[in-house]
Amino acid sequence: MPHADLNGARIHFTDTGGDRDAIVFSHGLLLDGSMFEAQVAHLRANYRCITFDHRGHGHSGVAGDGYDIDTLTADAAALISHLDVAPCHFVGLSMGGFVGMRLAARKPELLKTLTLLNTSAEPEPAENRPKYRLLNLVARWIGLWAVVGRVMPIMFGETFLKDTARTTQRQRWAKLIGGNNRLGITRAVSGVIERDGCSDLLGRIGLPVGVGAGEEDVATVPEKSERLHAAIAGSELVVFEAAGHSSAIETPALVNDLIERTIRRA
* C-alpha–C-alpha distance, residues 94 and 27, integer Å: 7
At residue 133, does pLDDT exceed 90?
A: no
pLDDT digits (tens, 9 = 90+) for 185-236: 898 888 889 999 999 999 999 999 999 999 999 999 999 999 999 999 999 9
| Omega cis (within 30) before 123 | no
The 3-class SS string of 122-189 reads: CCCCCCCHHHHHHHHHHHHHCCHHHCHHHHHHHHCCHHHHHCHHHHHHHHHHHHHHHCCCHHHHHHHH
pLDDT for 156: 98
* C-alpha–C-alpha distance, residues 7 and 261, integer Å: 33
Burial track 235-254 (b if 16+ CB lie within 10 A, e otherwise) = bbbbbbebbbbbbbbbbbeb
pLDDT digits (tens, 9 = 90+) for 3-40: 999 999 999 999 999 999 999 999 999 999 999 999 99
Among the residue ranges 48-62, 66-80, 144-158, the one predicted with the least confidence is 144-158
Among the residue ranges 50-64, 87-101, 137-151, 169-183, the one predicted with the least confidence is 137-151
With bands split at pLDDT 50, 70 and 90, how would you rate the model's confidence at 125?
A: confident
Is 71 in contact with 7 (CB distance < 8 Å)? yes
At residue 154, does pLDDT exceed 90?
A: yes
The 3-class SS string of 85-99 reads: CCCEEEEEECHHHHH
Contacts of 107 (CB under 8 A, 6+ apart): 77
At residue 136, does pLDDT exceed 80?
A: no
Identity of the amino acid at 112: K
